Amino acid sequence: MALTAGIVGLPNVGKSTLFNAITKAGAEMANYPFATIDPNVGMVEVPDSRLARIDEIIPAKKIIHTTFEFTDIAGIVKGASKGEGLGNKFLENIRQVDAIVHVVRAFDDDNITHVTGKVDPIDDMATINMELAIADLDSIQKRYDRVEKVARSGDKEAKVEFEILKRIKPVLEEGNPVRSIDFDKDEMKIVKGLFLLTSKPVLYVANIAEEYMANPEDCDYVKQIEAEAAKENAEVIALCAESEEEISELDDDDKADFLEAEGVEESGLDKLIRASYHLLGLATFFTAGGKETRAWTFRRGMKAPQVAGIIHSDFERGFIRAETVSFADLDKFGSMAAVREAGRLRSEGKEYEVQDGDIIEFRFNV
Ligand SMILES: Nc1ncnc2c1ncn2[C@@H]1O[C@H](COP(=O)(O)OP(=O)(O)OP(=O)(O)O)[C@@H](O)[C@H]1O
Ligand SMILES: [Mg+2]
């Protein structure tokens, strides 16, 4: 289940700086293009204020946050799909990730090299998206010809796939992502099987200068990135990777002081972590009381027994039911006794689709 969010962008835009801020993993950051060659992989803790509130109501010895994975990938340049700058290898690294966090340079600094010599977010975004689209076009071309032949011979499945390929091809030729096409559920299964780069969900990070941290919307580059991203309904998170990296090395008190001094309410990094988690289709359930109050990650849409299996395979094998209360209800009623009295403790069965924020006690028998 280990899904990973890949950090993608032009060289020297702050990807590794961001990765280090997120994961505290100490990947090499350097003021020159292609500092990163092999992908860096690191885990991030998901900030979640609900844990503290649950622990207040149902005290436990310790609190455990849930985690997920980020991968820092080498910079992609124009021509990467044709092998420029070790392009093919780097594009393959992107193929391995489940969602794309596309970092766009939105700061001016004459001391930091920009590969094209000019900071231009719209142009930069287009360059990356075009390379990914060309790579996808290359990867469907062979399949297109083969499936077309089989479809002609009357094969039903091939016909369905060919219809999909016929819709995909012109979109890619325009340099647009496959995720911009509306597919139904069955079509989506076929699309997934094509392992395309541009069908992966994406969000954009506007890497801004420190001076804009308190008011990113005052930065023209951010406005430009937002306008571009809006065309594909993608989210934009503005943050200063360099400052976030410095903040991440501070302890909690100093961190709060720093953010206050900058006039920032919530660290852009926390926003980004939550947005990436969501982008990956991940959600959180909790277990509470006794030894630990703990957040766990599941994939949205998973049913109770599968979710139980995340804690222990015995829980899934011997699943009986899931005693469930939503965080909203626990927060509102303030105690488990009051939750029960209000009839808000639910006994859910095998078909229950677990919801983000559920606090669950699994009943099982092995
Ligand atoms: N918001 C920012 N403002 C100013 N400088 C920044 C900012 N973010 C990152 N930098 C600087 O930009 C340089 C490049 O950063 P980094 O090594 O993280 O880039 P990268 O995208 O990982 O590059 P590569 O593709 O070469 O691996 C570093 O010197 C870093 O300190
Ligand atoms: Mg790097």
The letter for the amino acid at 329 is D
SS (H, E, C) 31-79: CCCCCCCCCEEEEEECCCCHHHHHHHHCCCCEEECCEEEEEECCCCCCC
CATH number of the domain bearing residue 323: 3.10.20.30
Q: Whose CA is nearest to atom 23 of ligand 1?
A: 12
Tell me how far the alpha carbon of residue 30 lies from the centroid of ligand 1, in angstroms: 6
| CB distance 319 to ligand 1 below 6 Å | no
Q: Give me the domain span that covers residue 14.
A: 4-279
Indicate if 101 and 31 belong to the same structural domain.
yes
pLDDT at residue 263 tops 90: no
- Establish if 207 belongs to a structural domain: yes
CB 304 within 8 A of CB 322: yes
Indicate if 269 and 305 belong to the same structural domain.
no
Instruction: List, in order, residues 6 or more apart from 106 with CB less than 8 Å away.
Output: 119, 121, 206, 207, 208, 209, 219, 221, 222, 225, 238
Indicate if 266 and 308 belong to the same structural domain.
no
- Establish if 213 belongs to a structural domain: yes
Between the alpha carbon of residue 19 and those of residues 46, 76, 267, 277, 345, the distances in Å are: 14, 16, 15, 15, 40
Question: Quick one: average pLDDT of 31-50?
Answer: 87
State the pLDDT at residue 28. 79
Question: Quick one: average pLDDT of 235-264?
Answer: 90
State the pLDDT at residue 208. 98
- Establish if 163 belongs to a structural domain: yes
| CB distance 93 to ligand 1 below 6 Å | no
Q: Is 17 among the annotated ligand-binding positions?
A: yes
State the pLDDT at residue 154. 92
pLDDT at residue 102 tops 70: yes
- Establish if 309 belongs to a structural domain: yes
Measured in degrees and rounded to the nearest 5, phi and psi for residue 348 equal: -100, 145
Neighbours of 335 (CB within 10 A): 11
Q: How confident is the model at residue 2 (pLDDT cuts 50, 70, 90)?
A: confident
End residue of a domain, out of 248, 279, 310 = 279
pLDDT at residue 30 tops 90: no
pLDDT at residue 84 tops 90: no
State the pLDDT at residue 31. 77
- Establish if 286 belongs to a structural domain: no
Indicate if 62 and 183 belong to the same structural domain.
yes
**pTM here?**
0.92
Tell me the HSE value of 358 on the side-chain side, using a 13 A CA sphere. Answer: 26
- Establish if 287 belongs to a structural domain: no
Indicate if 64 and 166 belong to the same structural domain.
yes
Least Cα distance to 37 among 45, 28, 46 occurs for 28
| CB distance 30 to ligand 1 below 6 Å | yes
| 72/91 Cα distance (integer angstroms) | 12
| 106/169 Cα distance (integer angstroms) | 32
User: Looking at 8-22, 26-40, 162-176, which range is the least confident one?
Assistant: 26-40
Indicate if 27 and 137 belong to the same structural domain.
yes
Question: Quick one: average pLDDT of 330-344?
Answer: 97
Measured in degrees and rounded to the nearest 5, phi and psi for residue 111 equal: -85, -10
Q: Which ligand is nearest to the CA of 128?
A: 1
Q: How confident is the model at residue 126 (pLDDT cuts 50, 70, 90)?
A: very high
Question: Quick one: average pLDDT of 237-244?
Answer: 96
Indicate if 141 and 274 belong to the same structural domain.
yes
User: Looking at 99-113, 125-139, 227-241, 259-273, which range is the least confident one?
Assistant: 259-273
Q: What is the pLDDT of residues 53-67, one digit of tens each?
A: 999 999 999 999 999
CATH number of the domain bearing residue 252: 3.40.50.300
Q: How confident is the model at residue 209 (pLDDT cuts 50, 70, 90)?
A: very high
Indicate if 209 and 100 belong to the same structural domain.
yes
Question: Quick one: average pLDDT of 105-116?
Answer: 94
Q: Whose CA is nearest to atom 12 of ligand 1?
A: 14
Indicate if 251 and 145 belong to the same structural domain.
yes
Q: What is the pLDDT of residues 284-336, one digit of tens each?
A: 999 998 899 999 999 999 999 999 999 999 999 999 999 999 999 999 999 99
User: Looking at 87-96, 104-113, 162-171, which range is the least confident one?
Assistant: 87-96
Indicate if 275 and 305 belong to the same structural domain.
no
| 130/153 Cα distance (integer angstroms) | 34
pLDDT at residue 86 tops 70: no
- Establish if 296 belongs to a structural domain: no
Tell me how far the alpha carbon of residue 365 lies from the centroid of ligand 1, in angstroms: 53
| CB distance 119 to ligand 1 below 6 Å | no
- Establish if 30 belongs to a structural domain: yes
Q: How confident is the model at residue 87 (pLDDT cuts 50, 70, 90)?
A: low
End residue of a domain, out of 279, 310, 332 = 279
State the pLDDT at residue 237. 97
Packed helices 156-173 and 185-192: angle between N→C axes, nearest 10 degrees? 80
Question: Quick one: average pLDDT of 342-349?
Answer: 97
pLDDT at residue 1 tops 60: no
How many domains is the chain partitioned into structurally?
Answer: 2
Indicate if 227 and 336 belong to the same structural domain.
no
Q: How confident is the model at residue 251 (pLDDT cuts 50, 70, 90)?
A: confident
pLDDT > 70: what percent of the chain? 98
Least Cα distance to 204 among 294, 309, 104 occurs for 104
Indicate if 120 and 58 belong to the same structural domain.
yes
